[in-house]
Structure 1
Amino acid sequence: MIDEVQIAVNAGYASGVEIGDVLDVLRETNIPDPDAPNESLGTAFVRKGSMRIESVEEKFAIARVLQQSKGLLAPAEPMFTIVSSESAEGRGRVFIEAGDPVDIQIDS
């Protein structure tokens, strides 16, 4: 985490990442089996939030939280902010930590 709207990603132009690519930060979630207590149907990856790559180096890239517009005359604001602890997560705030899975949508 660089600040509340930027993170560094350990993939860069050597991996095919380019400025403008979108990445989804994911949360691994267990899906319990409703018919069998203490059993799991498996895991799913749920999107925490989306970010856009804004700078790229050989082995890493910097991504920024996507912006949402509040109207023609209002400035764009981040869709969410990044917080440094899980206890601070809540409405409009997302806890992102090293090791969270990401899906980078690389344009071909």
Structure 2
Amino acid sequence: MRVLMGIFTDRGSKYAVSGGPCQSADEAKAFVKTLCRRKKFAKATHNTWAVILPDGTPIKNDDGEAGAGLVILRMLEREERVGEIIVVTRWFGGVHLGGDRFRRVQDAVRVYWDAP
């Protein structure tokens, strides 16, 4: 599991991104559960995630950030990344971001992929 904290802030909302190998729906749920054992992540407003399983099955979860899981899933599909879960975490800062929230999700995924 790789976790990148405090990757950026937008109008008070703070972001982190996490990821790692994932071979099944059970592993995906376990990954998010393990992440949320960290108090900071358990208190996050949203932990949105997606994965494409090795058999080609797409799984996503918006965790209240409507459409965000699909944004991650589409990025995974475009890059043909299979068996890798990506979780974008947001702590709401008091200002609604509107459509910009999808750009921030994309930015977070790119930060994860570009990190050494």
TM-score (norm 1): 0.27
Greater helix share, 1 or 2?
Answer: 2
Greater strand share, 1 or 2?
Answer: 1
TM-score (norm 2): 0.26
